[in-house]
Amino acid sequence: MSITTDQLRARAAGSLWLRLAAVALPLLMIAPALWNGYPLLQWDTGGYLARWYEGYLVPSRSTVFGLYLHYGEGFGFWINLAVQSLATLWLLQLTLRVLGLMQTFRFVAISLSLMLSTALPWLASMLLTDIFAGLSVLALFLLVVGASRTSTLEKISLFVFTAFAAATHSATLGVLLGLCAAGWMVRPFLGGRLPLAGLTQASLTIVAGGLMLVSANYALSGKLAWTPGGYGVAFGRMMQDGIVAQYLNDRCPRERYKLCPYRNALPASADEFLWGKSMFNTLGRFDGMNEEMGTIVVQSLKDYPAWQAGAALRAMGQQLLHVATGEGTNGWIPHTRGIIERYIPAQAAPMRAARQQNWGVNFDDVNWLHVPVALASMLALVALLAHALASRRLDDLTLLAVTVTLALLGNAFICGVISGPHDRYGARMVWVATFVVLTAAARRWGEDDKAR
């Protein structure tokens, strides 16, 4: 069959689009860092960077992610951003392909829309675990649902990526574990829609991620242990809700706690207590207070179950609404700056010269768009699920929408209940809802075009 001139031109144009996208999209995905002149840093970045050098475990700082950052030091951490950018684009296109919706123009349009209207490029431009939270949800979905439409190499890559993401942060591991548990519970009702092999592989990523984390902890600290800090973070949230003060008032007359003398002077926020200049420092921080905080957390759950349940539901609801981009990413990051200057002096000069370190990064303008887009995306996701339920349409896109909805709820519960509501925890996950909504809209437009 002969090929017409118009067909040749169309193929050439498509090939040009593909080449342009292959070059431009990875750079645009980390455009905030390129504009900043250095990878974006956050309050917590220094704690991860220091793990290689300090050789001991600290609360909520994954050694796995610390090692990942360490291996990028010689390249000014730009190699880390390259990995994050390429991994993001790979998972976006692979998801579209598994859904049967992959077209070059559609992929470029959706990618650009996400870059302009969500926190995604800011997350990809940052030396922090947050980019892997949302990406891991897509990877887990692809492992389960896309088993018959992905190659062996892709399955291995998805497995390794998901296990790594689980090892970077306990909240991410918790969300993935919850998704797997939900998958096993509904599988008897869905049968072949959730293949046994895919669900098993997805579940094993949690095991692999846990082993990865414990192994890294042992390699760096000599301790065969999980990353510490769970009780301290939960204690901070309970203190913020007033539960700790009530518990101390009830117990201190007959029991001796280190915090009893301070029960009427507790800080108003968990962040002020754990990271500010509070009695927590005076009493030995985590080393001196971990046992007592654990006791108070466990006992207060028993003593005030209704109060705890109400506080948890409020925190979860509030967390769903905390979605602004950029929390903790400003010019005031003294710990992270100090870690870089002490342990990686070669990076000190370019770090100091960046816009962020000179207070040139402001998220007010981007959040004018990001926040309403995020909130609208969650509402649209609910509408999408309601329409699918009404029409009894359970296709792969609906399964993805269900997966993302459960991930958002799980993330809000884990982060809101344990750490307390923060914009950072919402922003790192909600962009996936926008991706699902854009994908559904693209499919609808495609169906309308075919109908014409």
| 8 vs 326 pLDDT, higher one | 326
Neighbours of 378 (CB within 10 A): 20
Closest CA to 66 of 178, 193, 216: 216
User: Binning pLDDT at 50, 70 and 90, where does residue 325 land?
Assistant: very high
Q: Which amino acid is at 353?
A: A
Question: CA-to-CA distance for 99 and 106, rounded, in angstroms?
Answer: 13
Q: Are 213 and 64 in contact (CB under 8 A)?
A: yes
Calculate Rg over the CA atoms of the chain: 23
What are the phi and psi torsion angles at 129 (to 5°)? -70, -15
Average pLDDT, the chain: 91
Q: Which amino acid is at 181?
A: A
Beta pairing partners, 40: 126
pLDDT computed for residue 19 by the predictor: 73
User: Binning pLDDT at 50, 70 and 90, where does residue 16 land?
Assistant: low
Mean pLDDT of 349-376: 96
pLDDT computed for residue 376 by the predictor: 98
> In sequence order, which residues have a C-beta less than 8 Å from that of residue 189 and are 6 or more positions away?
none
Of the candidate ranges 63-67, 152-156, 265-269, the one whose mean pLDDT is the lowest: 265-269
Say what percent of the chain tops pLDDT 90: 73
Question: CA-to-CA distance for 152 and 189, rounded, in angstroms?
Answer: 28
Question: CA-to-CA distance for 23 and 31, rounded, in angstroms?
Answer: 13
Q: Are 37 and 81 in contact (CB under 8 A)?
A: no
Q: Dig out the tokens for 170 from the structure.
A: 């306990």
Closest CA to 279 of 291, 296, 263: 263
In our burial notation (b when 16+ CB lie closer than 10 A, e otherwise), range 292-330 reads bbebbbeebeeebeebbeebbeebbeebbebbbbbbbbb
- Give CB contacts under 8 A, 24+ apart, made by 380-388: 380/433, 380/437, 381/405, 381/408, 381/433, 381/436, 381/437, 384/436, 384/437, 384/440
pLDDT computed for residue 347 by the predictor: 96
Question: CA-to-CA distance for 23 and 100, rounded, in angstroms?
Answer: 24
Report which secondary-structure segment, H or E, holds 372: helix 364-391
pTM of this structure? 0.91
Question: CA-to-CA distance for 386 and 193, rounded, in angstroms?
Answer: 19
Beta pairing partners, 126: 40
Beta pairing partners, 315: none
Question: CA-to-CA distance for 97 and 102, rounded, in angstroms?
Answer: 5
User: Binning pLDDT at 50, 70 and 90, where does residue 12 land?
Assistant: low
Mean pLDDT of 281-298: 88
What are the phi and psi torsion angles at 302 (to 5°)? -75, -40
> In sequence order, which residues have a C-beta less than 8 Å from that of residue 201 and are 6 or more positions away?
143, 144, 147, 155, 159
Residue 398 reports pLDDT greater than 70: yes
